[in-house]
Structure 1
Amino acid sequence: MNDMEGFRYHYDLEVRWSEVDAQRIVFNANYLMYLDLAYQEFFRSELRLYDDVPTTVIATSTQTFLKPARWRDKLSIWVRPKRIGNTSVTLEFVMTREGEPIFRAETVYVHVDENGRPEPIPAFWRERLRAYQEEALA
């Protein structure tokens, strides 16, 4: 199976000077910021959830750093749903530079109510996530 199978959406960015550390590589915490940008844009552009702000919190995030990203690198952050649970959705991310994977992550987002308690994912989110999964693997 191709490592990139099922990945259709990607968010592109260029590494800014303020995102690198003294070693001149992207500071590790910025990778989570990159994932968050890709997550938000995935929900907006691919799932067409324009007015519905994702009310989710990160429950877990596992990251694997393969190669460092550097200032002015042009990166693509690929996103695909892996699992749709009752109150959570697991997304997989692959960050590439010139088509080569340099970073991988798997993040579980839990849908929460106004008090921060888990609640079921809205039905229309679930429908759009499932449809997206099916189209991506067709």
Structure 2
Amino acid sequence: MTKLFTHRLRVRYSECDQQNVVFNGHYLFYYDVAMTELWREATDYASMVEAGTDLVVAEARIRYRQGARFDELVDIEMPVTHLGTTSMIVRPRFKVGERLIAEGEVRHVFTDVVAGGKKEMPSAVREAFQSYISAAE
């Protein structure tokens, strides 16, 4: 059974623009917060880095549908849709209730902490995220 990790946050006033909606740049920040919490639930990121592997964003795309507003609760669904040899893909969906606010795709690449460059995903990480893998939609 596939796990769907979801992180909820409340929109703060300072995150809204002149149109009274969340400024578009904040969605990648929201994604980063949700990704941190997904890692916290799935495995130990710090241990992976200590063992010589890190994770970087190689590509990010967000499609904006509607604007979230001050004080609304935004649920960030984090389906993991790909576990490759050196990369993983997450397709976040940002929702307020049932309203789809934004959606996207973020490709992460595993890198060697010392030498730089791509590195194979550690087997412990692959095992930890296996239960989160879902079919691409």
TM-score (norm 2): 0.84
Please give the root-mean-square deviation of Cα atoms over the aligned residues, in Å: 2.0
Residues 84, 44 of structure 1: alpha-carbon distance in 2 compared, 3 angstrom cutoff: same
- Is residue 89–residue 110 contact of structure 1 (8 Å, CA) maintained in 2? yes
Q: Distance in 1 between matches of 2:3 and 2:95?
A: 12
1:97-121 Cα deviation digits (max 9, x unpaired) = 0122111011001111225421111
| Unmatched 5+ stretches in structure 2 | none
- Is residue 96–residue 102 contact of structure 1 (8 Å, CA) maintained in 2? yes
Identity %, equivalent residues: 28
- Size of the alignment, in residue pairs? 129
1:18 aligned partner: 14
- Is residue 82–residue 133 contact of structure 2 (8 Å, CA) maintained in 1? no
1:23-58 Cα deviation digits (max 9, x unpaired) = 21111111000000111101111x132643672111
TM-score (norm 1): 0.84
2:112 aligned partner: 113
| Unmatched 5+ stretches in structure 1 | 1-5
2:61 aligned partner: 62
Q: Distance in 1 between matches of 2:48 and 2:29?
A: 17
- Is residue 7–residue 79 contact of structure 1 (8 Å, CA) maintained in 2? no
Task: Confirm or deny that 1:131 pairs with 2:127.
Answer: no
